[in-house]
Amino acid sequence: MTHKYHRPPPKRFLVTPAALWHSKGFRGILYQVLLVGLMVSAFIYMFSNAQQAMEKRGIATGFGFLSEESGFAIGESLIPSSPEDSYLRAFVVAVLNTLKVSAFSIVFATIIGILVGLGRLSHNWLIRKLASIYVEVFRNTPQLVQIIFWYTLVTRLPSPRAAIHPIKGVYLCNRGLLTAWPVSHPVHAWMAAGLVLGCLCAFGLSRWAKWHLNRTGRYVSVFWYGLGMIVGFPVVIWLAAGAPTAMEVPRLKGFNFVGGISLSPEFLGLMIGLSLYIASFIAEIVRSGIQSVDHGQIEAARAIGLRERFVFRLVVFPQALRVMVPPAAAQYVSLVKNSSLGVAIGYPELFNVNNTITTLSGNTMECIGIMMAVYLAISFTIALIMNWYNKLVQIKER
Predicted TM-score (pTM) of the model is 0.81
Kindly state whether residue 240 falls inside one of the protein's structural domains: no
- Which CATH number belongs to the domain containing residue 298 in this structure? 1.10.3720.10
pLDDT in tens, 220-255: 888 888 999 999 999 999 898 888 888 888 888 877
Between CA 96 and CA 85 the distance in angstroms is 16
Residue-wise pLDDT tens digits, 353-387:
999 999 888 888 889 989 999 999 999 999 999 88
The domain total for the chain is: 1
State the Cα–Cα distance between residues 86 and 70, nearest whole angstrom.
Answer: 5
> Is 41 domain-assigned?
no
Residue 159 lies in a domain: yes
Helical packing angle, 125-139 and 265-291, nearest 10°:
120
Task: Name the phi and psi angles at 352, rounded to 5.
Answer: -65, -50
In a domain, 31, yes or no: no
In a domain, 135, yes or no: yes
Cβ 105 vs Cβ 97: under 8 Å: no
* Per-residue pLDDT tens listing for the chain (398 residues): 555 555 666 555 555 676 677 777 777 888 889 999 999 999 888 878 877 777 777 666 677 888 888 888 888 888 888 889 899 999 999 999 999 999 999 999 999 999 999 999 888 999 999 999 999 999 999 999 999 999 999 999 998 888 888 888 888 888 888 888 888 888 888 999 999 999 999 989 988 988 887 788 787 888 888 999 999 999 999 898 888 888 888 888 877 888 888 889 999 999 999 999 999 999 999 999 988 888 888 788 888 777 777 787 778 888 888 889 889 999 999 999 999 999 999 999 999 999 999 988 888 888 998 999 999 999 999 999 988 888 877 766 55
Residue whose C-alpha is closest to residue 178's, from 187, 186, 169, 168: 169
Spell out a b/e string for 379-398, using b for 16 or more CB atoms within 10 Å of the CB, else e: beebeeebeeebeeeeeeee
Residue 259: domain span: 87-183+246-393
* Closest by Cα among 340, 265, 237 to 76: 265
Residue 320 located in a structural domain: yes
Whether 102 maps to a domain, the answer reads: yes
Say if CB 348 and CB 76 are below 8 A apart. yes
Residue 212 lies in a domain: no
